[in-house]
A and B are shown apart, each in its own frame.
Chain A
């Protein structure tokens, strides 16, 4: 009893959506109320706080997923997944509070006598966006959703020797898992890799299926000859489509944040075209075999 008064607990997960769902599972299984749920990298210990590493379990994650979908519907579950991919260090705990709110037994609302509607297929806890348990998660999920949309807009592919396509990006949330479906269907005719430099995560489409490779080690061929020409044509088009008398760089910056410019073809100087990559070293990593996507797409 004494120890409980003085000790707080933090859950550390691996940064994936499954990891966060496992952490939420543990909070219920262990009858605990952690004060922080975050990744090891982002964790800053509080005074007198114990840290507990949560092992990612797909089984537990699936159970949590089923529970949320059943009680609160698909949009609510999607919001939790989006929050899991956020870089915000409080995202985990906000997600837990939201899940507890969704799963709590029916009760009158926190402020007024308005009864919470019957849970039926149309019940969506996200509608109640002014609720103190819902609003923080809603904001995070929206921010991640916005970053996902920015990646749909601003990811730029380059054609490499041998027919592989490669895109580098630096999103502020780990949104590569959220954009893979979009590009894998739309650009299904070309095998490609999307590499997130900030989260060191690669999404690979091999013309049959897409999958994620964390901490990937890649040795990629140089850009193709045609790539330089097309990039030059795009830069030229970009320069000539602007109308001088309407010059308004503040507006451009608002829509196209400067932090993303370094991976935008049209914002790079001529001749700085891609010359093959050697990604930075990291401790443990898995390999992407350069021949993998290429094998299916012979020259």
Chain B
């Protein structure tokens, strides 16, 4: 099989992994070595679905011993052609793409070939070729395969910049149903290992940097790489199982807290294989995914807590207004805020003022008092923010009743899904598959015992 054919098969097999970021680490270039990395990351292309291509996202192989119901590479799926890259082929392809500025680095995942250890060894060989033989300094994201022995995970972690273990399903019950070969313990073990090893490594590296004596200006040589310097991430599938947004956000919140994860990705379930256990509907929950991402941002950059965003009584996020506006409407006693005196934390709670806008306001108001014209120049979404602020003592939202119902009508904004495709409620021919399935059953809220698996 030639390399083009392999690339086609293994890129196709990897595309449902949504994580595609090259952020989290600054690595300067070195003379004579190829590549570098910047902390903000860089997208190099955008596919027709509007998602970015920043890394060469492929599988080492799509041969897999697991039979997870949601996965296109499940062992019982006979329609998919199987292929595998040799470490050398994949390393050469990465370098060739990188030299042309097509990509920021490599995203390497894999199906489980023979057993998890063998799979991880193959991945290690590829990364070692890149890092050691080709002296590649670009970004590498590697997947940890659940069930791999800890020594191999450690070895992989020293070669990669970011690692991820995909949780895929938000509860132990769903996992047992759809991915019988995987257990939550098996998934959380590498996650915990990476997070612990990472903080340990950071500490020791910080110690070697510190000057401990009056003598010896020579820093201690640190020849080894840092361990997973860009942190770890995970992915959850949305809509394949009956978990509510409440369950998902609870899980997310605890992952950020307990494992110091950098990102949790959400992937609206798209039927790729026919399985009676799965919904085979045409309705992909893209809007739900969108709202979850908004809530996720609020957790990471706006200082919100999970319980502020969602309550067990209303376990799904409002599809009409975004989670931040929803919070504001339920806490009108917090508003209006005076933009010229409010703290950063307060400004971040105002709908229409983002993380960048809030900081810009702090800088600008040192020079002059801000009014409507100034706020518009700063570039916040003034027409949303105005109902919640005063400028120099004057309420900006005059004309609207200051009540949840009236403001809600003004803040309602449909999610812009473009003019084509599913997000615009248009089906693409050839994609329909309407099988009878569990999807027609009403969505049940998970009982508390099932949530016991949360870390």
A residues with CB within 8 A of B: 109-112, 114, 116-117, 127-131, 135, 149, 152-159, 165, 167, 183, 185-190, 226, 230-234, 236-238, 240-252, 254-256, 264-266
Contact = CB atoms under 8 A, between A and B. Distances in A.
Interface stretch (B46-54, B193-201, B242-250): B46-54
Contacts of B12: 240-241
Candidate in B7, B49, B373 with the most chain A CB atoms within 10 angstroms: B49
A241 B15 contact: yes
B188 interface: no
A128 B361 CA distance: 9
A190 B33 CA distance: 10
Nearest to B52: A255
Contact of A243 (B16, B368, B424): B16
B431 interface: yes
Candidate in A110, A156, A158 with the most chain B CB atoms within 10 angstroms: A156
Contacts of B428: 244-245, 247
Interface in B14-61: 14-16, 28-29, 31-36, 42-53, 56-57
Interface stretch (B112-120, B178-186, B413-421, B436-444): B413-421
A256 B420 CA distance: 17
Given A130-B377, A189-B34, A232-B4, A242 B48 contact: yes
Given A241-B57, A252-B50, A266-B45, A234 B417 contact: no
B423 A248 contact: yes
Given A130-B378, A251-B50, A230 B96 contact: yes
13 contacts: A111-B369, A129-B363, A129-B378, A130-B368, A153-B42, A236-B7, A236-B11, A237-B7, A248-B421, A249-B50, A249-B420, A250-B50, A256-B45
A117 B15 CA distance: 52
A167 B424 CA distance: 37
B369 A114 contact: yes
Given A114-B368, A153-B43, A241-B57, A249 B48 contact: yes
A188 B31 contact: yes
Given A130-B364, A158-B100, A236-B8, A112 B369 contact: yes
Given A243-B49, A247-B420, 17 more contacts: A109-B368, A117-B366, A127-B366, A130-B374, A157-B99, A165-B99, A187-B101, A231-B100, A232-B4, A241-B53, A243-B47, A245-B428, A246-B423, A248-B423, A252-B46, A252-B48, A265-B102
Contacts of A188: 29, 31-34
A295 to B, nearest CB: 18
Contact of B270 (A153, A238, A243): A243
A233 B360 CA distance: 44
B284 interface: yes
A137 to B, nearest CB: 13
Candidate in A112, A129, A155 with the most chain B CB atoms within 10 angstroms: A129
B102 A234 contact: yes
B4 A154 contact: no
A236 B45 CA distance: 13
Contacts of A255: 43, 46, 50, 52
B237 to A, nearest CB: 14
B304 interface: no
A131 B368 contact: yes
B439 to A, nearest CB: 15
A245 B8 contact: no
Nearest to A158: B100
B270 A240 contact: no
B423 A234 contact: no
B367 interface: yes
Nearest to A110: B368
A165 B286 CA distance: 41
Contacts of A252: 46-50
B367 A247 contact: no
Candidate in B11, B15, B96, B100 with the most chain A CB atoms within 10 angstroms: B100
Contacts of A110: 368
A153 B31 CA distance: 22
A148 to B, nearest CB: 12
Given A114-B369, A129-B360, A247-B428, A264 B45 contact: yes
A135 B360 CA distance: 13
A111 B420 CA distance: 48
Contacts of A238: 45, 47, 53
A155 B417 contact: no
**Closest 9 pairs (CB-CB, A-B):** A251-B50, A247-B421, A185-B29, A242-B47, A128-B367, A246-B49, A130-B374, A248-B418, A127-B363
Nearest to B32: A189
A245 B284 contact: yes
B207 interface: no
Contacts of B50: 246, 248-252, 254-255
Candidate in A128, A158, A237, A252 with the most chain B CB atoms within 10 angstroms: A237
Contacts of A129: 360, 363-364, 377-378
Nearest to B360: A129
Nearest to A231: B100
Interface string B415-455: 00111111110001001000000000000000000000000
A287 to B, nearest CB: 26
A187 to B, nearest CB: 7
